[in-house]
Amino acid sequence: MLLSLLLPVLGTLASSVEVKRPRGVSLTNHHFYEESKPFTCLDGSLTIAFDWINDDYCDCPDGSDEPGTSACPNGRFHCTNAGYRPQYIPSSRVNDGVCDCCDATDEYNSGFVCENTCKEMGRKEREALAQMAEVAREGFKLKQALIEEASKGREDKQRTLAELQEGKKSLEEQVETLRSAKEAVEKPEKEAKEIHQKNWEEQKAAEKAAQEQARASEAFQELDDDGDGLVSVAELQTHTELDVDGDGTLSEMEAQTLLGNALQADASSFLDAVWTSIKERYKPEGLPDPAPLPEAPIEEAADPQPELPPEQPAPEEDYDEEEEEEGDDDESNEEEPKVTPPQQPSDKAAEEDGEEKMPPYDEATQALIDAAQKAREQFEEAEKSLKEMEDSMRNLEKEISFDFGPQGEFSYLYNQCYELTTNEYVYRLCPFNRVSQKPKHGGAETSLGTWGAWAGPEENKFSAMRYEHGTACWQGPNRSTTVKLTCGKDTVVTSTTEPSRCEYLMELVTPAACQEPRDPGAADHDEL
Amino acid sequence: MAAAPERVGMAAVIWTALFLAAAFAVDRSNFKTCEQSSFCKRQRSLKPGSSPYRALLESLQLNQDSMKLQLVNEVNKVPLLLELYGLQGNMTRIKINELSPLRPRYEVPDVLVRDPASTRLAVTGRDENSVELSLGDSGHKLILTGKPFRMDLLQGRELVLSVNPRGLLHFEHLRQRKDSFSDKVSSSVGSLWDKIKSLFHREPPKEPAPEGGAAGEETEATVPGDQESSEKSTKSEEGSDAPEQAEEELGSWEETFKTHTDSKPNGPTSVGLDFSLPGFEHVYGIPEHADNLRLRTTDGGDPYRLYNLDVFQYELYNPMALYGSVPVLLAHNIQRTVGIFWLNAAETWVDISSNTAGKTLFGKMLDYMQGGGETPQTDVRWMSESGIVDVFLLLGPAPRDVFRQYTTLTGTQALPPFFAIAYHQSRWNYNDEEDVDTVDAGFDMHDIPYDVIWLDIEHTDGKRYFTWDPSKFPHPRSMLERLAAKRRKMVSIVDPHIKVDSGYQIHNEIRSRGFYVKTKDGSDYEGWCWPGSAGYPDFTSPEMRTWWASMFSYDQYEGSTENLYTWNDMNEPSVFNGPEVTMYKDAVHQGGWEHRDLHNLYGFYVQMATAQGQVQRSGGLERPFVLTRAFFAGSQRYGAVWTGDNAAEWDHMKISIPMCLSLALVGISFCGADVGGFFKSPDAELLVRWYQLGAYQPFYRAHAHLDTVRREPWLFGEENKALIRAAIRQRYALLPYWYTTFYHSYRSGQPVMRPLWVEYPNDITTFSIDDQFLIGNALLAHPVTEQGAQGVQLYLPGKGEVWYDVHSHQKHHAPQTLYLPVTMSSIPVYQRGGTIVPRKERVRRSSDCMHHDPYTLYVALSPQGTAEGDLFIDDGHTYNFESKAQYLHRHFSFASNTLTSSSADSKGIFESPAWIERVVILGAGKPAAVFLKQPGLAETRLDFQHEAETSVLTLRKPSVNIGADWSISLR
């Protein structure tokens, strides 16, 4: 079991000095292990003979007596890894048949042959670092531009906001002015319209009374069959439609009752009393039953058909396609009303109801109305622009208040969306807004969360974003997404995974995540 | 796994619809009660009374190794054939079949490992109504009573067990279907007769003679005047008998459950028989049930059911059937342990009742032996839907004898490859190769050992087993090679339902070879499972199994490598749209057998064929590892089982102990439960406790449902990570002991994980304990299973023995009930004084990395200052230990202040570079000097360290090879 206690460690360069130290001890620690002197465990708990160091038996509770073997459960082994990076590995990985140190020093007695890959790894790492540095450099440059752009944008926005705030005052004043102006002209308008209305109604009433009287006297004359200037019970009885009890005939008694409990009525009492009680049922003689009205609507319904654009030949395939499109297109509903025939019969119906149209306003009234309408329109327009202005101010305020990173470098992502298409889904990330997933081959979109907060670790808060409260999972939580930001020249979503059910992980490459590149030479420290 | 909504798309629609409502509890209405299972109802409606069966003593034939005798049902005159075998090793086999059945009845093949060697039977006594036989050289006698038929098994003058003492033998003979009502009545006249008889036993009604019997004869059966039993028979059925009978008749030739109709072309075929166990109050076994170790009586409830089923979100503490079945029941009292092995693979129910009225009259021989009537007694009744009565009585008398007896019949636990007893990391699902790499790297980053990472169904190309999802797992071989470079393994799932898809080679071959299970109409049976429509290969066919096994060869299973092993899930079989989520009972297997006859064997065969495939792919060299969910008697020969789809709940964690103990008692030692719980997400405390418990159970695998949040050990904060790591490391340090214990199980059938009573059969206190257990004979574990526990109450058994806390080394005298305060890091484990446990204390990233590492021996001294232990070593993965005797079995003993290492088995020869780095002696005084002596070498002094406070003596670096003979003396 006793292997060479001391391992001559050669540096990579011919000029470096050979340092003798027990296996698995780093250069910085080698002075604790003085040859041939008793060794005190690094935690001070025990002092042992020097030849108990690396004798493959764990004596020190802290494992410090076995830096080069696997004997201590809590020990660690130092690999020099010349050409690459030195490293500590747990003692349990010494001689375990797995190559851990690139210089192969951890497998010195396991029968497994490891190759020294440090040079290769060092080269690869340097290349990778160089490449990363290159990316970082370029990315960082872009980031500077983004920062500048952001600060400009922010200034612009603030300026715009200030301007808007400024403009808002005058606009508000304007709205108020227009409101009073509107109210001022609306008052005479209202009065004039009321007068006009009243006049018209009076006129209508008078006309109606006259008409009624005319119908009554007409009826009287009709009823007065013998022309004696009186309507008798018998004369009334010829009009069976006036039957009161519904037996189909008008009895004498009924007729008398209708005549005001009299046997006859003269013209004036007929007009005053009898007519009102019979006019609803009375049918003038010699006229057929009023024809039913539906003819007109039928004509109208038939009307629009010839109006369909005749130049559309509509071959069937085309038609199908259109239907499919319509099926997919949410907006198609809005177009539908266009297809339905215009409904114009309201005027006619009004006429047929016997209602007359109000006569046009007289010139003076019309002038008042026109003036008021104009004032209203002006007011509404002003009010609308005020609302719009307020909206854009709100948006601006929101955007300005967003935390776009220490220097606003992430602000360019605002109002943008980035997509990644996988085998099954199209993922869509709209930074600071939402993340969603849509099946590639049709199907509803699923929300994977809306903007929550920056979610990186404390020291690097802006390295991750969190989107929460997405669509709920079956028997599970609401979907959520963490977006990891990494440095790159372009802005692109590079991957989406679902490491845990309904918890998504997305990677977004962006120059905004680039850090100022360090001097690349500084990375290659500790090389012997 | 079970429920998979959303992800499985089309396939899940029906499934989801079925189970969405279930939330987090089993939907009991999906599964039959005894009342809803027509044969169980028929059998159970038969009440104890005098048996209608008569043994025709004059027909007795005694052959070289068996006795044959006819039984006749006095009511329907159907003759049965009773065969009795005395078997070597203190066992008796009883077979009852129809003398001349219309068609052959199913006899379970492939479960017995060999034809059990028989002993010579001899008639040693005889009178007009009984025969006495001696059963070989064990001193057991059997008294067979002619009328009513019963058998009583005695040792010396002591009655051990009775067969048919309550007259519940009920054998539904095969018959032609007749549609007339009278035929229907006659077909089940036996049970009707019994009821009537027990009520009006002096007035036997005349019955029409049924077919198959002495046709045309009218029965003039006189009722046996057994006052004792008729007194016990119940009498409250008068009014309900007739309509009930009609109903039962409906269930005899066709049975409908929910929307499923079972056509029952063979009509009623069930068999039932009862046993009495006088003097026994504790019975165990008949897994799988989510219940306590000690079986309960089933009076007033359902019997324990054995019918392999995929039970979605199973409930605890009830007798419902689960994924596997082992029809073996053990009874134990302070004098004796016996077993009843009911070899029947059809749906089976077991009633257990207990009474103190053990007065049974069975012939003049016994009259004077039964003293008072207060002997505790357990009665057991078995009821199976088809097949024959084939029972092995395992007569003990010690627990270890029963284990040996049972495993002589069905085989012992296969010795697992070493890695398989280490820690397994699973999840439904590790999504892709990158995910696998990341998790693998995570274990190294967090310095947590693990041996195997698992891939669930999502790794396949559309649930086509033996394939890989081309976008998630495009390069399985290199992924496996990366794992191999860390000396780790992978397990991929291969389920027995095969996607019906003409573009799928496996399906095409099975179809074209005619290997699918058929419907009753002869077409390929198709059910609904993960892939959607799926066929079920007929694993009962040897040709099918051979073909299946060949699919595991490296050139067939593309992307597979030596370090890829297999998981057989859903092999009950699970059929989402089938009755009780399984296959129609009238489906047809090779040889024309109905699925009904062999349902409980299906999963056994799946694992058998898969294990065979793994052996074959290595040319017979490498040991397989196959995990199965469904199992039967004998499944221990093919690998590991786990307790199925449990939940992240404290009670589910707790029940894993009795569930695995029950399996261990019936041969299946390699058992575990999903660490963390399958459904739902555990909090950190539960997860940590479960890792601690799992570290001391034979199969140690964390697993989780697709819908749960990630739970790799490092995701719960540094503190919990450290606790989990510590638990897993304890497991790894003890692997040499586990492996040695598994070797014993393989060699002698002794369970790895043991109930306390197995080691302390005379201590009644231990008989019902199932919150603590033993591993081998040396370690006692009482993992914390209570939320927020401040301490555990544990029992240290063994009069005059001592136990040492393995963590503090504190010594405790036994027997005692001990309250041990606990913290989150506590895993109460004790080493028995008088034992020696080998450990490897250099825990590495995988068990394979530790293969050549040195050992530490923990010598725990008995009060007499002695200790013994052993260690088994081989290459850990091949059959060379068996075929070439390439192994080391070392024996360590400590006596007279000297620890000696010698060979426990000189046949084994194996070179190992492993050595002994340390010996820790618990309970030792401080010696003046310690000397190591090796043959042919001079004595050398060893350095040592003694802690007076705990009496722990640590011997530094004996540096002897593990295979060497040596002794160390303390002076």
Q: What is the pLDDT of residues B104-153, one digit of tens each?
A: 999 999 999 998 899 989 999 999 999 999 987 778 999 999 999 999 99
Residues A24 and A160 in one domain: no
Label the pairing between strands B140-145 and B130-135.
antiparallel
- Of B569, B597, B853, B870, the active-site residue reads B569
The pLDDT value given to residue A355: 57
The residues pairing with B434 across neighbouring beta strands, listed in sequence order, are: none
User: What's the gap between Cα A16 and its chain centre?
Assistant: 65
Beta bridge partners of B841: none
* pLDDT over 90 at B232, yes or no: no
A423 with A377, same domain: the answer is no
Closest of B87, B82, B37 to residue B61, by C-alpha: B82
Checking if the pLDDT of B678 tops 80, the result is yes
In chain B, whose CA is at the least distance from the CA of A56?
B917
Q: What are phi and psi of B600, to 5 degrees?
A: -70, -5
* B958 to chain A: closest CA residue: A57
Of residues B190, B146, B181, the one with CA closest to residue B58? B146
User: Which residues lie closer than 8 Å to B238 by C-beta, 6 or more apart?
Assistant: B199
* Chain B residues inside the 8 Å CB shell of A475: 5, 23, 707
Residue at A242: amino acid letter: L
The reply to whether A348 falls in a domain is: no
Reduced to 3 states, what is the DSSP secondary structure of residue B105? coil
Domain hosting A243: range is: 153-290+369-401
- Our count of domains for chain A comes to 3
Both ends of chain B: CA-CA distance in Å? Answer: 59
- Establish whether the linkage from the previous residue to B397 is cis, with ω within 30° of 0: yes
- Report the Cα B465 to chain-centroid distance in Å: 27
Write down which residue in A99, A116, A133 finishes a domain. Answer: A116
User: A52, A2 in Cβ contact below 8 A?
Assistant: no
| B957–A55 C-beta distance less than 8 A | yes
Name the residue type at position A92.
Answer: S
User: Is the residue at A350 inside a domain?
Assistant: no
Q: Which distant-in-sequence residues (6+ apart) come within 8 Å of B927 by Cβ?
A: B897, B944, B946, B953, B970, B971
pLDDT at B217: 39
Question: What average pLDDT does range B314-328 have in this prediction?
Answer: 97
Q: What is the dihedral of CA A268, A270, A273, A278, to 10 degrees?
A: -160
Known catalytic residue at B351: no
**Would you give the distance in Å from CA A247 to the centre of its chain?**
71
Handedness of CA B616, B620, B624, B629 (dihedral sign): positive
In the numeric block, the tokens 């309408």 are attached to A373
Element (DSSP H or E) covering residue B424: strand B423-425
Chain A residue at shortest CA distance from B4: A474
Distance CA A59, CA A68 (A): 13
**What is the pLDDT at residue B299?**
92
pLDDT (mean) for B305-312: 97
Question: A379 φ, ψ to 5°?
Answer: -65, -45
Does residue A53 sit in the same domain as residue A88? Answer: yes
- Active-site residue B379, yes or no? no
Residue of A nearest to B427 (CA): A500
Instruction: Flag whether A236 is in a domain.
Output: yes
Burial B90-104 (b: 16+ CB within 10 A, else e): bbbbbbbbbbebeee
3 state DSSP class of B215 = coil
| Residue B192 in this model has a pLDDT that exceeds 90 | no
The answer to whether residues A268 and A396 belong to one domain is yes
Kindly report the average pLDDT of chain B as a whole number.
90
Same domain, A382 and A435: no
A276 and A386 part of one domain:
yes
Task: Please tell me the distance in Å from A524's CA to the nearest CA on chain B.
Answer: 23
A230 plus A255 within the same structural domain: yes
Which residue in the set B471, B729, B959 is minimally distant from A423, CB to CB? B471
Compute the distance between CA of residue A453 and CA of residue A403 in angstroms, rounded to an integer: 9
- Residue B943, pLDDT above cutoff 90: yes
Is residue A388 located within the same domain as residue A454?
A: no
What is the signed CA dihedral for B918, B919, B924, B927, rounded to 10 degrees?
-60
Q: What is the distance between the alpha carbons of residues B594 and B418, in angstroms, rounded to a whole number?
A: 39
Cα(A146)–Cα(B570) distance, integer angstroms: 57
Q: Are residues B458 and B7 in contact, defined by beta-carbon separation less than 8 angstroms? A: yes
Predicted confidence (pLDDT) per residue in B867-905, tens digit: 999 999 999 999 999 999 999 999 999 999 999 999 999
**CA max distance for chain B:** 95
Sign of the alpha-carbon dihedral angle for B324, B329, B333, B338: negative
B150 φ/ψ angles, rounded to the nearest 5 degrees: -160, 165
Our measurement of the distance from residue B390's CA atom to the centroid of its chain's CA atoms, rounded to an integer in Å, reads 19
Residues A250 and A192 in one domain: yes
Which strand (E) or helix (H) includes residue B62?
strand B53-62
Beta-bridged to residue B393, according to DSSP, are: B92, B340
Whether A93 and chain B come into contact, CB under 8 Å, resolves to yes
CA distance A20 to A11: 12
Q: How would residue B921 be classed by pLDDT, with cut points 50, 70 and 90?
A: very high
| Torsion, CA B109, CA B115, CA B116, CA B122, rounded to 10 | 110
Cα B200 to Cα A122, B222, B238, B239: the distances in Å are 98, 12, 10, 14
Residue pLDDT, tens place only, B440-470 = 999 999 999 999 999 999 999 999 999 999 9
Provide, for chain B, the percentages of residues in helix, strand and coil under a 3-state DSSP scheme, each rounded to the nearest 5: 25, 30, 45
Q: Does residue A505 sit in the same domain as residue A394? A: no
For residue A330, tell me if it sits in a domain: no
Enclosing H/E stretch for B813: strand B811-813
pLDDT tops 60 at residue B356: no
In a domain, A130, yes or no: no
A204 with A258, same domain: the answer is yes
CB contact under 8 A, B842 and A70: yes
Angle, helix B542-550 to helix B505-512, in steps of 10 degrees: 160
Q: Does some domain include residue A525? A: no
d(CA B251, CA B30): 18
Q: What pLDDT score does A289 carry?
A: 52
B447 contacts in chain A (CB < 8 Å): 90, 92
ipTM: 0.87
Per-residue pLDDT of B713-731, as tens digits, reads: 999 999 999 999 999 999 9
Q: How many CB atoms lie within 10 A of CB B763?
A: 18
Taken in order B548, B554, B560, B561, the sign of the CA dihedral is: positive
Under 8 Å between Cβ of B831 and B778? yes
Contact present, B576 and B78 (Cβ < 8 Å): no
Q: CB neighbours of B528 closer than 8 A, spacing ≥ 6?
A: B11, B14, B15, B534, B575, B576, B577, B578
Q: Strands (DSSP E) along B213-323, which ranges?
A: 255-257, 260-262, 271-278, 282-285, 304-306
Q: How far apart are CA B410 and CA B412, in angstroms?
A: 7
Strands A418-421 and B791-796: unpaired
Would you state the pLDDT for residue B420?
A: 98
Looking at chain B, the whole-number percentage of residues with pLDDT higher than 90 is 85
Q: Cβ contacts of residue B757 below 8 Å, gap of 6+?
A: B282, B332, B399, B763, B766, B767, B769
User: For residue B934, which amino acid is it?
Assistant: Q
Q: Do A90 and B956 touch (CB under 8 A)?
A: no
Q: Which residues of B touch A (CB under 8 A)?
A: 5-6, 16, 23, 431-432, 434-435, 447, 471, 485-487, 706-710, 729, 841-845, 848-850, 852-854, 915, 917-918, 956-957, 959
Determine, yes or no, domain membership for A419: yes
B289-308 residues labelled b (16+ CB within 10 A) or e (exposed): bbbbbbbbebeeebbbbbbb
| Mean pLDDT within B182-190 | 44
- Three-state secondary-structure class, residue A135: helix
- Which tens digits make up the pLDDT trace of B400-444? 999 999 999 999 999 999 999 999 999 999 999 999 999 999 999
| Alpha carbon of A317: minimum distance to chain B alpha carbons (Å) | 31
What the block records as the tokens of B26 is: 């089993």
**Which one of A63, A94, A116 terminates a domain?**
A116
Mean pLDDT on B672-699: 98
Mutate to test the interface with B, among A475, A482, A494 (most CBs of B within 10 A): A475
- What CATH number does residue A496 fall under? 2.70.130.10
**B313 to chain A: which residues are within 8 Å by CB?**
none
In this prediction, the residues of chain A whose per-residue pLDDT falls under 70 are 1-19, 286-356, 475, 519-528
CA–CA separation, A237 vs A229, rounded Å?
Answer: 17
Domain membership flag for residue A318: no
Q: Are B431 and A474 within 8 A, CB to CB?
A: no
A259 plus A376 within the same structural domain: yes
In sequence order, what are the residues at sequence separation of 6 or more whose Cβ sits closer than 8 angstroms to the Cβ of residue B123? Answer: B60, B62, B131, B132, B133
Most confident segment among A267-271, B249-253, B663-667: B663-667
As separate numbers, helices (DSSP H) first and strands (DSSP E) second, chain A gives: 10, 16
Helix (H/G/I), strand (E/B), else coil: B758:
helix
The CA distance from A14 to A388, in Å, is 77
Asked if A475 is an interface residue toward chain B (Cβ–Cβ < 8 A), one would say yes
Nearest to A486 by CA among A503, A459, A465: A465
- Out of A378, A401, A424, a domain closes at A401
